[in-house]
Amino acid sequence: MKEQLLAKFADVFGDTNGVKVFFAPGRVNLIGEHTDYNGGHVFPCALTIGTYGVARKREDRALRFYSMNFENLGVLESSLDDLKPYKEADWTNYPKGVMWAFEEKGMKIPCGMDILLFGNIPNGSGLSSSASVEVLTGFILRDFFGFDVTNQDLALIGQFSENKFNGVNCGIMDQFAIAMGKKDQAIFLDTATLQFEYAPIKLQNAKLVIACSNKKRGLGDSKYNERRSECEEALAELQKVVKIETLGDLDEATFEANKDAIKSEVRQKRAKHAVYENQRTIHAVEALKKQDIKLFGELMNASHISLRDDYEVTGIELDTLVEEAWKVKGVIGSRMTGAGFGGCTVSIVEDDAIESFIEQVGKAYEAKIGYAADFYVVEAGEGPCVLA
């Protein structure tokens, strides 16, 4: 892979003098969806697929970007003196946003760069290709210019750039999981406090299988921000009757006792999901620690039903993938993962059922939806690193 990247860099930018090669993973969230901006818990892991970057410093302030995933766009040029989000800047608004965020936080970038990227995360899949690019960019900036920031800082800077530069009101989970990834471990993160612990993913004789619906979605123009504001309104209504900072502070019983303070049925459903999903995530991690994979799978299934019925972010594509998965013998649990409205599902599948799972679910999905899904058998991987 490294040789291909270097050859392409030389082809695009003339030579490979002074370059370094970097990698940042994608992530999948095993359970705890739409809880991260509601002060709840999440349970993601970094993946072994992600974004590769080849970069070098320039002697001027120019920025030149090239993506092997969007070769038709060619080299997109910008400057450190013009870090603004332009529509025509396309995907480069993500790395530019991180550069802007570093400067906003007092870390001045002394010179421009040539950067080539290649991602083997499906674009728009919900496996956090954008957050992967953000963490990768921050990692490159730290490596090149010696900024005094931790990996956790890189996650927070990535979130800040996505919120303030790209206008997507995302929580911290994606960037945190990518920046803090550890092999064969998932991260049990309290998004209200950023306290976290690693939990080993021991699935006995089973693997994680991701199914990509191939329905593209863009977070900024999805209903993501709408869901977030519905939860904020519900929280404000609940705060009039119960002392809480976030929806994540509630357990199910307290929510049920006070839910009538929420004056809209829709907002009640949104808040119910946030509360119940947070509790499911806490129980799921306890189950995993006890090696109760069956219970973990049941909680995954319940998570999907809540995302479908209460949060209404699934859609026919994700529902078809999950409902077909549930029919396959050897599937321990299956749910949508990511923001929804397209993207991916994650399933725990027994080793000897993986082949039939991919065949059965793939065939049923294509018959119903009209185009194919893609499947990836994945493992939990490390956070960002220098490859050369």
Residue 259 has pLDDT above 70, yes or no: yes
> How would you class 352 by CB atoms within 10 Å of its CB: exposed for 0-12, middle for 13-18, buried for 19 or more?
exposed
Do residues 191 and 248 lie in contact, with contact meaning Cβ atoms separated by under 8 Å? yes
Beta bridge partners of 28: 45
- What pLDDT score does 139 carry? 98
Do residues 55 and 190 lie in contact, with contact meaning Cβ atoms separated by under 8 Å? no
Do residues 284 and 30 lie in contact, with contact meaning Cβ atoms separated by under 8 Å? yes
- Domain 2-198+382-386: which CATH class? alpha beta
Residue 249 has pLDDT above 50, yes or no: yes
- What pLDDT score does 121 carry? 86
Please state the rounded mean pLDDT for residues 149-157.
Answer: 98
Residue-wise pLDDT for 5-62, tens only, equals: 999 999 999 999 999 999 999 999 999 999 999 999 999 999 999 999 999 999 999 9
Residue-wise pLDDT for 299-324, tens only, equals: 999 999 999 999 999 999 999 999 99
Q: In what order do the strands lie in the sheet with 385-386?
A: 76-79, 62-67, 113-119, 44-57, 20-29, 385-386
170 — pLDDT class (breaks 50, 70, 90): confident
- What pLDDT score does 129 carry? 87
Please state the rounded mean pLDDT for residues 278-302.
Answer: 96
d(CA 284, CA 368): 32
- What pLDDT score does 113 carry? 98
Residue 225 has pLDDT above 90, yes or no: no
Residue 124 has pLDDT above 70, yes or no: no
* Active-site residue flag, 174: yes
| 96, HSE (Cβ side, Cα atoms, 13 Å) | 26
**What residues have CB less than 8 Å from 161, skipping those under 6 apart?**
94, 97, 98, 100, 101, 134
- What does the mean pLDDT of the chain come to? 95
In terms of DSSP H, where are the helices of the chain?
A: 2-13, 93-104, 129-145, 151-164, 173-179, 224-238, 252-258, 265-289, 293-309, 315-326, 354-369
Residue 78 has pLDDT above 80, yes or no: yes
171 — pLDDT class (breaks 50, 70, 90): confident
User: Domain-by-domain residue ranges, the chain?
Assistant: 2-198+382-386
Residue 74 has pLDDT above 70, yes or no: yes
Please state the rounded mean pLDDT for residues 293-302.
Answer: 97
d(CA 296, CA 284): 5
Residue 220 has pLDDT above 50, yes or no: no
> How would you class 343 by CB atoms within 10 Å of its CB: exposed for 0-12, middle for 13-18, buried for 19 or more?
buried
306-342: burial string, b at 16+ Cβ within 10 Å, e else: bbbebbbbbbebbbbbbebbeebebbbbbbbbbbbbb
d(CA 84, CA 166): 9
| For the chain, percent of residues with pLDDT exceeding 90 | 91
- What pLDDT score does 296 carry? 97
Among the listed residues 15, 81, 143, 174, the single catalytic one is: 174
Do residues 281 and 41 lie in contact, with contact meaning Cβ atoms separated by under 8 Å? yes
Beta bridge partners of 115: 55, 65
223 — pLDDT class (breaks 50, 70, 90): confident
pTM value?
A: 0.91
- What pLDDT score does 222 carry? 65
> How much helix, strand and coil, in percent to the nearest 5, is found in the chain?
45, 20, 30
Do residues 376 and 349 lie in contact, with contact meaning Cβ atoms separated by under 8 Å? no
Q: In one letter, which amino acid is 279?
A: Q
In terms of DSSP H, where are the helices of 290-353?
A: 293-309, 315-326
d(CA 240, CA 260): 11
- What pLDDT score does 118 carry? 97
d(CA 182, CA 17): 32
- What pLDDT score does 228 carry? 93
